[in-house]
Amino acid sequence: MSKKIGILFPGQGSQYEGMGRDLIASPVYKRAKDILDEHTYSVVEAARLEDLSKTRYGQVSIFLNSLSLYEELKDRLLEPNNIGVSASLGLSLGEYTALCAAGVFSIDEGIDLVKNRGLIMEEGAAGRGSMVAVMKTGLETIQDLVDQAREGQVLSVCNLNSPGQIVVGGEFEALDRFEEKCKEAKIKRYMRLNVEGPFHTQILDQAAQKFADEFLSKVDYREPSMEVYTNLRGSSYKEVDSIAENLRDQMCSPVRFIDCVENMIADGCQIFIEIGPGKSLSGFVKKINKNVRVINIQKISDIEDINLNDIIQI
């Protein structure tokens, strides 16, 4: 009997030099070549880290890489061995990959959505602030420091990634005050992130509405083939009609990754497979619950190295 499997898809920040070059001949990348403008596809194909670190290119590149690897995993391992996937979850951008993998919208629709999401988020947030990751500090303490440092500016918790990492985003001056408060509170580890703006904060309210009006509202969403967990609520989607609204609000609201993983485990997921660049989500899951099995797939060779006994109960 197969163990219950949940798949994980990373978000922006996981990109690396040369990402996707081993997958450029895959069907997903071929569709992207037809859909994306020539310049954007050339950036995706060249996969230079300097370019992939920009929101407008990084998001679509990570989406293509993760989805291509998932299709390879299905074709090479899951379907030939009659192994099903019960649930999917993505961090921020990765939620779009999770929805696409579950058949909620087509690959073509996913590419178009993610391309425009990256453009709109960059336009809405670039240069208007940043984000700080705080390590090994409780949410209550962090929220108290945020409240002290805000002083009428935008400053809020924006990512609850694991018990060991919570991210705060906001305007530059407010973040300076927050970092000073962290120092005064003798918090040992906190770091300013190399991002273009304060994502998942109210600074993106207008951008989120624009994205919803111009793009999310135009998609014909379908019933998912597996449970998909929403960053906004921390639980699985219950109604297809709520997807567009959830994705709109997700852009300017905290990512509740801890709640998502805890609910997936409560719903029976015993194995988590992170698919795409980086290993951050695997680390987060192990900090949330050290008893679950976590597998990481960054390249096709990682699929070939998977031991079936790690997935199938004998």
Task: Encode pLDDT of 239-277 as tens digits.
Answer: 999 999 999 999 999 999 999 999 999 999 999 999 999
Global model pTM greater than 0.85 = yes
100-131 pLDDT, tens per residue?
999 999 999 999 999 999 999 999 998 999 99
Residues classed as catalytic = 92, 200
Chain region(s) in the chain for CATH 3.30.70.250 = 130-195
Q: CA-CA-CA-CA torsion for 260, 263, 269, 275, nearest 10 degrees?
A: 0
Closest CA to 117 of 224, 225, 252, 4: 252
Q: Where do the CATH 3.40.366.10 domains begin and end in the chain?
A: 5-125+203-310
Express each pLDDT in 293-312 by its tens digit. 999 999 999 999 998 887 87
How much is the mean pLDDT over the chain?
Answer: 96
**pLDDT tens per residue across span 148-184:** 999 999 999 999 999 999 999 999 999 999 999 999 9
Q: Burial level of 153, CB count in 10 A (0-12/13-18/19+)?
A: middle
Q: Measured between alpha carbons, how far is 175 from 48 in angstroms, rounded to an integer?
A: 30
| Confidence bin at 1 (pLDDT 50/70/90) | very low
Extract the tokens encoding 52: 């992939």
Percent of the chain topping pLDDT 90: 96
- Quick check: 109 and 38 in contact, CB under 8 A? no
Q: Kindly state the tokens that stand for 4.
A: 């219950």
Please compute the mean of the pLDDT values over residues 266-293 and round it to a whole number. 97
Average pLDDT over residues 204-208: 98
Q: What pLDDT, on the 0 to 100 scale, is given for residue 284?
A: 98
Q: How many CB atoms lie within 10 A of CB 35?
A: 17
What's the CATH code, domain 5-125+203-310? 3.40.366.10
Domain at 130-195, CATH homologous superfamily: Malonyl-CoA ACP transacylase, ACP-binding (3.30.70.250)
Of 237, 289, 296, 245, nearest to 89 by C-alpha is 237
Closest CA to 174 of 138, 132, 126, 122: 132
